[in-house]
Amino acid sequence: MRPEEKREQVEERLPDIKRFLEQYKKQFLIGLGTVTMAGAVTFGGYQYIQAQSVPLYPVLVGDEVIGTVSDPDVVQNWLKKQYAAAREEAGSADLALTQAVTVSEPKWVYKGQSQDAEVLKVLKQKVAVQAKGVQLVIDGRPVAVVTDQESLDRLLGAYRQRYSGELARTPHTDRSARGNSRTVVKEVAFVQSVATREVEVDPDEVMEPQQVARLLEAGTLAGRKHTVREGESLWTIASRYNTTVQQLLENNPGLDENSRLQPGQELVVTAKVPLLSVRIVEETKEIQTVPFATEVVEEPAMLKGEQKVLREGKHGTKQVTYEVTKINGQIQTKRPIKEQIMEEPQNRVIAKGTKVVADRGSGVFRWPTVGGYISSRYGMRDGRLHAGIDIARPSSYSILAADNGRVVFAGWDGGYGKSVIIDHRNGYRTRYAHLSSINVRVGQVVERGQKIGVMGTTGHSTGTHLHFEVLKNGRPINPLEML
């Protein structure tokens, strides 16, 4: 202790010294002079006060003295415990006191009493250890605190890559395995506004990046509508939205487990909505087929209802550029922004007949084959009526309609084999039998000289020929009367 401090303490204790002198003055007066006795008493009082004084250390919170302690370690040990507890909660975050705590130089106080317990109680009330960190703010809402900006940047980068993969690193070109499309990433960004700010918080509020990532992804449950697609069921929809069939039934009264879903039907589903979503805008180029058109050319020489392919069609190709917007990997919009024809399609050309043939015959029949001779005439044969003529050895096996009319039979007819019957709508009908094939159908209108089949030997026949009959009002007559 400095001499001046000792003098000050002695002066402060003069009342105590006077009481001491009064108590022992008789003993001190014997054999001593008054002045000598006063000096001795003063020296003895000083020694006594010095022995009864203790050092007390003032403790300040900010500029306020909250008391004194017997030893600076009382405060230092308390602070160390507070920092240690905070470190366990805050990890590597920087720590700081809410208010500055200082311990001043000691003051020697006569019979002084320290206030260790009281000071620690006040410190606990007024001072706390806080963690310095960086707070993530999404759409103006504080979400989480991490230790530093670098950790938060890494967290956000990893979260973005979770939904966008390698595309999030930098816009690039991605050629698909199919080889007919190309994708250029134009934008990778968060849907919500994202901000950060430095904060001081309770140490237990500081989170590890992995915890924050799980929090962002878990998000909140929100109701949304799902439009049923072809082939979907309650089970597949529940799996898609990470929910249960029971939850779907609760959200959609009137449905049960046996309900059949219809395409286009809307269901209310409860789905997790992340706190933070990643939007990717891509420009995709796809090579697509351009279907050819069919061009119809009228052909007056062909019967109406008939058609013939004049030229086969050929598909073309085009390159379509789409702008595709995805949120968390799910396509939200896909709109075409450019289209370029690479190869023009070639139209298919079909000739369609326009010639209208009357289904009523003229009554003048033509020879029903291309050449040939009569191998068997009309009349009685082996005791039976041979109701027509047989024509054999033509120059062509094509069988021709004898006159305009409508086909009323085309098919197998017992002993006649494959045969065709034409009603000429004027009282006459003609029959063409033993054909090897038929080229017309029932109900079809045919023209005089039109091919209706091919000569053969089906049914009761001994060789290739045409059995030709003419019926007038349902009764057979000699065909030669009409040819």
Please give the Cα distance from 437 to 457 (Å, whole number): 10
Given this model, what pLDDT does residue 28 score? 41
How would you classify the pairing of strands 373-376 and 379-381?
unpaired
Given this model, what pLDDT does residue 177 score? 38
Centre a 10 Å sphere on the Cβ of residue 474 and count the other Cβ atoms it contains. 7
Given this model, what pLDDT does residue 46 score? 56
Given this model, what pLDDT does residue 169 score? 42
Asked if residues 307 and 350 have their Cβ atoms less than 8 Å apart, the reply is: yes
| DSSP string computed for 49-103 | HHHHEEEEEEEEETTEEEEEES-HHHHHHHHHHHHHHHHHHHTT-EEEESS-EEE
Structure tokens at 100: 């500055």
Cα angle 448-441-429, degrees, rounded to a multiple of 5: 50
Task: Identify the H or E element spanning 269.
Answer: strand 266-273
Given this model, what pLDDT does residue 4 score? 52
The amino acid at 438: I
> 205 — phi, psi (to 5°)?
-85, -15
Q: Running along the chain, 483 residues long, what does each successive block of 10 average in pLDDT?
A: 51 53 46 43 57 89 94 95 92 92 92 90 94 94 93 91 60 46 86 94 92 83 81 89 86 88 88 84 94 94 85 96 90 92 96 86 94 95 93 97 97 97 96 98 94 97 96 96 92
How would you classify the pairing of strands 307-311 and 348-355?
antiparallel
The CATH superfamily holding the domain 221-273 is LysM domain (3.10.350.10)
Residue tagged 């007390």 (tokens)? 56
* Domain regions of the chain by residue span: 221-273, 281-354, 369-481
Given this model, what pLDDT does residue 8 score? 55
Supply the pTM of this predicted model.
0.51
Centre a 10 Å sphere on the Cβ of residue 451 and count the other Cβ atoms it contains. 14
Query: What dotted CATH number matches 281-354?
Result: 2.20.230.10
Q: Does domain 369-481 have CATH number 1.10.150.120?
A: no
Nearby residues of 248 by Cβ (< 8 Å), 6 or more positions away: 234, 237, 238, 255, 267, 269
Please give the Cα distance from 411 to 52 (Å, whole number): 141
| Per-residue H/E/C for 128-178 | CEEEEEEEEEECCEEEEEECCHHHHHHHHHHHHHHHHHHHHCCCCEEECCC
Given this model, what pLDDT does residue 312 score? 95
Nearby residues of 4 by Cβ (< 8 Å), 6 or more positions away: none
Rg from Cα positions in the chain = 57
Cα angle 84-88-92, degrees, rounded to a multiple of 5: 100
Q: Across the chain, how many H-helices and E-strands are there?
A: 9, 31
Predicted confidence (pLDDT) per residue in 54-112, tens digit: 899 999 999 999 999 999 999 999 999 999 999 998 888 999 999 999 999 999 988 88
Sign of CA dihedral 263, 268, 271, 277: positive
